[in-house]
């Protein structure tokens, strides 16, 4: 039974169970509440004038805010199910007591009863939705809240149906007793549902739980939209009741009208809920669905202004009630999901338990104000409704914008926000914090502290200079020396002598620089003793120091010295010359020495020269640098040198990348270089290459584009091209899926198993690429979180990721990507593959044929291996055609397969 | 020694080795292309303790005894690996490996492994995951053993037996005991 229902509702089994229980609970609450409302309206309108209502609205606003705050305070440390159970019990008892009070003929009774019904109703329904939100996540909510909403409408419908005939047969207190019984029946269900699985707990609230929810702009828009909606409902309610009181005289007639009214509205809501809500929410999203209510009310407000009367007023009220209980409720609840749990709970409490009733109060004040100035006629109030609807539409636009942003933030929060762990120096007491940084065990922190201290508090830096020169981190010692030299801070002779013999080469260079700075502008003379001395480490430091700091007018003399070391020096000295040239700022004639060193036989010398070529910034070095990218041992220095040349070399790199005749290792290294150059030209160069056959190269290009995307530079990525690539990857994913499903699993080391695994990996890789590409067009951090969510086993993460994608992606991208990740399962995806691309499984042989006919070399090699292992002779033509392919792996496997077929 | 496996067969074999099972097949093919097949007869020493490190060996077929000094450390059969892949350059083998029957192995040197890792970072990632898992398992095992040793020590102490101290591979007997 449950299985059949789950299939019909297109839900999971456990989701169906959850939806049914929640639907029954809400149905009972709403049924009871509808009965209570019918009694309330009939009792009030037959005892008092409708003109009292605006005052009651104000009273409801004040009382509800107090009651909601009090209730929240009392139940804040209790589980949500317990709060709901308490509210239910309280409501049932209060209804039973009220049934007795209605027999008293006093003026205060209808007023007190009217106030109380509104207050308890609001607390109860708000508690129910908090409870329901806690049991699900955004994506599941989208599917099950429709069913839960049906429960509410059915409850309202039953309540209305009972109320209309029974109001004529029974007295109002009896009707209220029925409501109390119905209310009491909810409690056991709530307690039963509370024993849910703890496997998917809601993440804990953030630390900043004390901040007002209104400090978030999204919450402000949400609050404004809710306030407008509530005020519109209250004004419409007043208009309707005024019209009803004018037309009907007895309690039975009024109760009958409202019974009929609630039946009609609930029936209409049920139709909408059953046939439109879920479709609307899933197709157009929560925000567009929520826009239906104000749109319809704008029309009825216009009708009311044009022709005031019971007809347009009832139409407006019916539309308000119908959309509120169906689309409005299902979509409105989704708006709370992006908020983190603590904030969500406080926002819901504030909006549903506070603002919704305060809204009634505001509406009462507006009605009184309008009545005092213009007269509270139907037309005048129609104008008020029109103004409020306009404000509501404005707030809706703000909510719509904020919804996608908040969904993205929520996703990242769920994937642990390490950002919260960072220390903000600006917020701390700067100086103390900086000094504290110097004692950090982390070198980077110490270096950061040195930089900041030298900049912000130089006197503090000088006070700690000697300590820094003895710091355990060599980089800290070197940097302190460098800053000290520039600031001409005094270093004791003994300390400097010790630092010149430091184990770290950079410290030695900086110490020598300080030594030389004491001797005026001539650098060669003071360094002479070290250059000619017997200590190789000091000699190397002296060469580096000389190359870096010699004044331009001494370049000829320095060149002679360096050439001499290049000619007669050992590896250490020659490397020092090559490295030293990289420390000298361009332009410099000394950089002429680099050209021969870029092709030096000695690898360390060559590597140092390649790295230095980046500083020299000469285009003549570019061909050698690109060539060096092709060898593993020189790739890294060549890459860093090319990246330093930046825009001057991007065009050339793009040409090499797009040229398929360039050696594969060079092409494979180029995307990373381009990824280090944060410019639009780099993006253009990467997208100029349309490589698909070389999977590794295509992936590296994509990764480089991702790096550019997160670099912070303002870059434009080609939308059309990326969408084409996404479609290509979607197709690749579905191709791999169709044939993966067709592939026999195989055992151990079997060829079939290898092919299966390769297809499975290709699916994972294609999905990864799809999200990487989306990250070029949408916020990359959110897309990364969404990717991690959709591949996660965690239902809440997955659900939130799907909800984010459905709202953040454009229609075109949603149509492409969602079938790959949604809950339709592999069967659904196979249907998409067949409908969209005509891919379907026929036989394993046809699968092998399809794989051998596509361009992915690794999958082809795996398929050839299977052909050989299974002796599939019918595929011999494919094997033979693969013998002449460019890819060596495919060629080698094809020749192995042919041999296997021949000998089998 | 002749190569008897095709590149794809080597890849399929490597995919079945537990330590390498999370490496993508395409990256494994690169590793397979760099690996060498070796055959050993029964009793033949594959490497000795102190020999220059030759990387990792993966048993395709056969049986290998791993000895530490004179003690038998473990026995490795088909689909299992031995040798020291993670050691730095120049560090020698810390055990002796002897084939106990005709044994067919695939040998991957450190250089070859690291080159593959540079070409395919996912290899390194998979290895880190595998090693982290192994480390966790070993940590849990050490914890269990420590508990057992503590329990045994306490039992011995209660029985009046003086406990020998274990230091760097040898037991130091309490004074007075021979």
Q: What string of DSSP letters covers A95-140?
A: HHHHHHHTTS--THHHHHHHHHHHHHHHHHHHHHHHHHHHH--HHH
> In terms of Cα–Cα distance, which of A757, A774, A806 is closest to A709?
A774
Instruction: Judge whether residue A328 has pLDDT over 80.
Output: no
Q: In what order do the strands lie in the sheet with B96-99?
A: B45-47, B96-99, B64-68, B71-76
Are A754 and B15 in contact (CB < 8 Å)? Answer: yes
Residue B10's contacts (CB-CB under 8 Å, 6 or more residues apart) are B32, B33, B35, B37, B106
pLDDT band for position A481 (cuts 50, 70, 90): confident
A562-601 tens-digit pLDDT = 888 888 888 888 888 888 888 888 788 888 888 888 888 8
pLDDT of residue B145: 92
d(CA B35, CA B54): 12
Q: Which of A696, A736, A754 to mutate to test the interface with B (most CBs of B within 10 A)?
A: A754
Q: Take residue B130 and report the two structure tokens written for it.
A: 């595998």
Q: Which of A632, A754, A757 sits opposite B8 (nearest CB)?
A: A754
Q: Are A545 and A577 in contact (CB under 8 A)?
A: no
Any chain B CB within 8 A of the CB of A816? no
pLDDT of residue B56: 85
Least confident segment among A138-147, A528-537, A543-552, A658-667: A138-147
Q: Which of B6, B13, B24 sits opposite A896 (nearest CB)?
A: B6
pLDDT band for position A244 (cuts 50, 70, 90): confident
pLDDT of residue A1: 65
A163-211 tens-digit pLDDT = 777 766 777 788 888 888 888 887 777 776 655 444 444 554 444 445 6
Q: Which residues on chain B are in Cβ contact (under 8 Å) with A754?
A: 8, 11-12, 15, 25
Q: Which residues on chain A are in Cβ contact (under 8 Å) with B78?
A: none
Q: Take residue A685 and report the two structure tokens written for it.
A: 């160069």
Reading phi first (left if > 0) and then psi (alpha if -120 to 50, else beta), residue B55 is in left
Task: Tell me what percent of the residues of chain A surpass a pLDDT of 90.
Answer: 16
Instruction: Judge whether residue A427 has pLDDT over 70.
Output: no
Any chain B CB within 8 A of the CB of A749? yes
Are A892 and B7 in contact (CB < 8 Å)? Answer: yes
pLDDT of residue A733: 95
Are B13 and A865 in contact (CB < 8 Å)? Answer: no
Least confident segment among A156-165, A759-768, A816-825, B71-80: A156-165
Are A757 and B25 in contact (CB < 8 Å)? Answer: yes
CATH code for residues B7-121:
2.60.120.10
d(CA A209, CA A541): 57
d(CA A877, CA A894): 11
Share the mean pLDDT of chain A. Answer: 82
Any chain B CB within 8 A of the CB of A418? no
Region A270-296 average pLDDT: 77
Are B8 and A751 in contact (CB < 8 Å)? Answer: yes
Instruction: Judge whether residue A227 has pLDDT over 80.
Output: yes
Instruction: Judge whether residue B46 has pLDDT over 70.
Output: yes
Are A758 and B7 in contact (CB < 8 Å)? Answer: no
Q: Are A875 and A860 in contact (CB under 8 A)?
A: no
pLDDT of residue A897: 92
Instruction: Judge whether residue B44 has pLDDT over 90.
Output: yes
A832-859 tens-digit pLDDT = 999 999 988 888 888 999 999 888 889 9
Name the packing angle between helices A251-272 and A172-184 (round to 10°). Answer: 30
Q: Are A357 and A65 in contact (CB under 8 A)?
A: yes
The neighbouring-strand residues paired with A157 are: none
Q: Are A214 and A347 in contact (CB under 8 A)?
A: no
Region A317-342 average pLDDT: 77
A438 vs A581, residue with greater confidence: A581
A677-723 tens-digit pLDDT = 999 999 999 999 887 778 888 889 999 999 999 887 789 999 999 99
B18 vs A475, residue with greater confidence: A475
Q: What is the least distance, in Å, from the CA of B81 to any CA of chain A?
A: 16
Q: What is the least distance, in Å, from the CA of B154 to any CA of chain A?
A: 40
Least confident segment among A361-365, A517-521, A776-780: A517-521
> In terms of Cα–Cα distance, which of B9, B26, B178, B24 is closest to B106?
B9
Instruction: Judge whether residue A728 has pLDDT over 70.
Output: yes
pLDDT of residue A37: 84
d(CA A665, CA A254): 86
Q: Which of A668, A749, A755, A764 to mutate to test the interface with B (most CBs of B within 10 A)?
A: A749
Region A858-887 average pLDDT: 90
Region A380-395 average pLDDT: 89
Instruction: Judge whether residue A455 has pLDDT over 80.
Output: no
Highest mean pLDDT among A57-71, B37-51, B120-134: B37-51
pLDDT of residue A564: 84
Going along chain A from its start, the domains and CATH numbers come out as: 8-194+214-414 (1.20.1250.20), 718-835 (no CATH), 842-904 (1.25.10)
A757-807 tens-digit pLDDT = 999 999 999 999 999 999 999 998 889 999 999 888 888 788 888 888 888
pLDDT of residue A422: 37
Are B25 and A748 in contact (CB < 8 Å)? Answer: no
pLDDT band for position A428 (cuts 50, 70, 90): very low
Any chain B CB within 8 A of the CB of A753? yes
Q: Are A749 and B9 in contact (CB under 8 A)?
A: yes
Are B12 and A865 in contact (CB < 8 Å)? Answer: yes
Q: Which residues on chain B are in Cβ contact (under 8 Å) with A761?
A: 24-26
Any chain B CB within 8 A of the CB of A893? yes
Q: How many CB pairs under 8 A join A and B?
A: 48
pLDDT of residue A75: 65
pLDDT band for position A36 (cuts 50, 70, 90): confident
Instruction: Judge whether residue A24 has pLDDT over 70.
Output: yes
pLDDT of residue A207: 44
d(CA B96, CA B105): 15
Are B29 and A861 in contact (CB < 8 Å)? Answer: yes
Are B8 and A761 in contact (CB < 8 Å)? Answer: no
pLDDT of residue B92: 83
Dihedral sign, Cα of residue B54, residue B60, residue B61, residue B63: positive
> In terms of Cα–Cα distance, which of A317, A178, A299 is closest to A243?
A317
pLDDT of residue A547: 83
Q: Take residue A609 and report the two structure tokens written for it.
A: 């020269």
């Amino acid at each position: 039974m449950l299985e059949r229902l789950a299939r019909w509702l297109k839900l999971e089994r456990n989701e169906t169970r959850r939806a049914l229980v929640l639907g029954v609970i809400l149905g009972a609450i709403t049924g009871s509440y509808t009965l209570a409302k019918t009694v309330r309206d009939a009792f009030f309108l037959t005892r008092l004038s409708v003109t009292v209502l605006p005052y009651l609205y104000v009273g409801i606003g004040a009382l509800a805010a107090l009651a909601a705050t009090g209730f929240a305070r009392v139940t804040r440390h209790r589980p949500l199910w317990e709060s709901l159970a308490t509210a239910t019990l309280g409501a049932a008892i209060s209804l039973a007591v009220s049934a007795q009070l209605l027999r008293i003929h006093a003026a205060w009774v209808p007023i007190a009863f009217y106030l109380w019904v509104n207050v308890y109703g609001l607390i109860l329904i708000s508690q129910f939705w908090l409870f329901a939100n806690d049991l699900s996540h955004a994506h599941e909510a989208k599917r099950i809240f429709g069913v839960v909403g049906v429960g509410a409408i059915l409850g309202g419908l039953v309540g209305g149906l009972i109320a209309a005939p029974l109001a004529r047969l029974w007295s109002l207190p009896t009707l209220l007793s029925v409501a109390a019984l119905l209310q009491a029946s909810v409690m056991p269900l709530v307690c039963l549902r509370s024993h849910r699985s703890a496997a998917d707990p809601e993440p804990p609230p953030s630390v900043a739980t004390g901040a007002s929810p209104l400090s978030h702009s999204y919450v402000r828009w949400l609050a404004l939209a809710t306030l407008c909606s509530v005020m519109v409902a209250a004004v419409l309610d007043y208009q309707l009741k005024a019209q009803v009181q004018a037309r009907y005289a007895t309690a039975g007639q009024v109760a009958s009208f409202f019974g009929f009214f609630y039946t009609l509205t609930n029936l209409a809501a049920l139709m909408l809920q059953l046939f439109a809500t879920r479709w609307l929410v899933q197709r157009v999203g929560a925000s567009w669905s929520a826009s239906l209510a104000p749109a319809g009310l704008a029309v009825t407000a216009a009708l009311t202004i044009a022709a005031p009367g019971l007809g347009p007023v009832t139409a407006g009220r019916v539309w308000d009630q119908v959309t509120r209980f169906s689309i409005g409720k299902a979509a409105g609840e989704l708006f709370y999901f992006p908020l983190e749990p603590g904030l969500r709970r406080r926002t819901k409490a504030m909006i549903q338990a506070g603002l919704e009733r305060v809204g009634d109060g505001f509406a009462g004040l507006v009605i009184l104000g309008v009545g005092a100035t213009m007269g509270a006629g139907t037309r005048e109030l129609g104008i008020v409704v029109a103004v409020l609807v306009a404000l509501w539409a404005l707030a809706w636009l703000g909510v719509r914008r904020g919804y996608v942003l908040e969904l993205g933030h929520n996703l990242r929060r769920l994937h642990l926000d390490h950002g919260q762990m960072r220390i903000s120096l600006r917020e701390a007491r700067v100086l103390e914090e900086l000094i504290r940084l110097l004692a950090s065990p982390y070198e980077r922190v110490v270096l950061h502290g040195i930089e900041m201290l030298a900049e912000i508090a130089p006197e503090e830096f000088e006070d700690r200079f000697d300590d820094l020169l003895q710091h355990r981190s060599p980089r800290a010692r070197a940097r302190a020396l460098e800053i000290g030299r520039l600031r001409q801070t005094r270093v004791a002779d003994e300390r400097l002598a010790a630092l010149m013999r430091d184990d770290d080469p950079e410290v030695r260079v900086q110490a020598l620089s300080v030594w030389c700075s004491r001797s005026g502008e001539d650098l060669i003379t003071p360094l002479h003793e070290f250059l000619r001395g017997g200590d190789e480490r000091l000699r190397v430091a002296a060469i580096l120091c000389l190359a870096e700091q010699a004044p331009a007018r001494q370049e000829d003399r320095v060149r002679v010295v360096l050439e001499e070391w290049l000619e007669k020096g050992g590896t250490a000295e020659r490397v020092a010359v090559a490295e030293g040239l990289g420390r000298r700022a361009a332009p410099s004639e000394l950089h002429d020495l680099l050209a021969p060193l870029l092709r030096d036989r000695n690898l360390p010398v060559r590597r140092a020269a390649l790295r230095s070529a980046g500083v020299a910034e000469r285009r003549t070095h570019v061909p050698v640098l690109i060539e060096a990218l092709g060898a593993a041992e020189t790739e890294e220095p060549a890459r860093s040198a090319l990246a330093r040349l930046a825009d001057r070399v991007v065009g050339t790199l793009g040409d090499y990348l797009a040229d398929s005749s360039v050696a594969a290792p060079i092409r494979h290294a180029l995307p990373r270089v381009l990824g280090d150059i944060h410019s639009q030209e780099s993006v253009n160069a990467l997208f100029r290459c349309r490589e698909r056959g070389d999977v590794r190269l295509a992936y590296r290009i994509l990764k480089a584009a991702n790096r550019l995307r997160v670099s912070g530079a303002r870059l434009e990525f080609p939308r059309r091209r990326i969408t084409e690539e996404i479609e290509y990857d979607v197709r690749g994913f579905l191709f791999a899926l169709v044939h993966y499903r067709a592939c026999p699993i195989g055992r151990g080391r079997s060829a079939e198993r290898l092919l299966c695994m390769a297809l499975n990996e290709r699916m994972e890789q294609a999905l990864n690429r799809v999200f990487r590409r989306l990250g070029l067009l949408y916020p990359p951090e959110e897309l990364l979180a969404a990717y991690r969510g959709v591949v996660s086993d965690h239902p809440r993460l997955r659900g939130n990721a799907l909800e984010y994608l459905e709202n953040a992606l454009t229609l075109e991208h949603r149509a492409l990507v969602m079938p790959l990740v949604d809950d339709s399962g592999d069967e659904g995806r196979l249907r998409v593959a067949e409908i969209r691309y005509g891919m379907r499984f026929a036989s394993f042989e046809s699968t092998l044929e399809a794989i051998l006919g596509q361009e992915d070399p690794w999958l082809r090699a795996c398929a050839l291996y299977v052909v050989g292992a299974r002796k599939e002779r019918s595929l011999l033509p494919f094997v033979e055609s693969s013998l002449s392919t460019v890819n060596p792996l495919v060629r080698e496997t094809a020749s192995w397969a042919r041999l296997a077929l021949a000998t089998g | 020694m002749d190569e008897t496996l095709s590149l794809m067969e080597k890849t399929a074999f490597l995919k079945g080795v537990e330590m390498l099972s999370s490496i993508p097949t395409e990256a494994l093919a690169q590793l397979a292309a760099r690996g060498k097949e070796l055959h050993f007869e029964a009793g033949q020493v594959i490497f000795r303790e102190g020999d220059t490190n030759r990387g990792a060996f993966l048993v395709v077929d056969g049986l290998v005894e791993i000895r530490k000094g004179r003690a038998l450390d473990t026995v490795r059969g088909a689909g299992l690996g031995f040798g020291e892949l993670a050691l730095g350059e120049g560090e020698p083998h810390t055990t002796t490996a002897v084939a106990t029957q005709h044994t067919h192995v695939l040998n991957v040197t450190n250089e070859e492994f690291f080159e593959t890792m540079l070409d395919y970072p996912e290899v390194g990632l998979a290895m880190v995951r595998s090693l982290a898992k192994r480390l966790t398992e070993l940590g849990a095992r050490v914890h269990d053993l420590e508990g057992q040793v503590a329990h045994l020590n306490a039992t011995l102490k209660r029985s009046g037996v003086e406990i020998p101290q274990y230091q760097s591979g040898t037991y130091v007997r309490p004074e007075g005991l021979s």
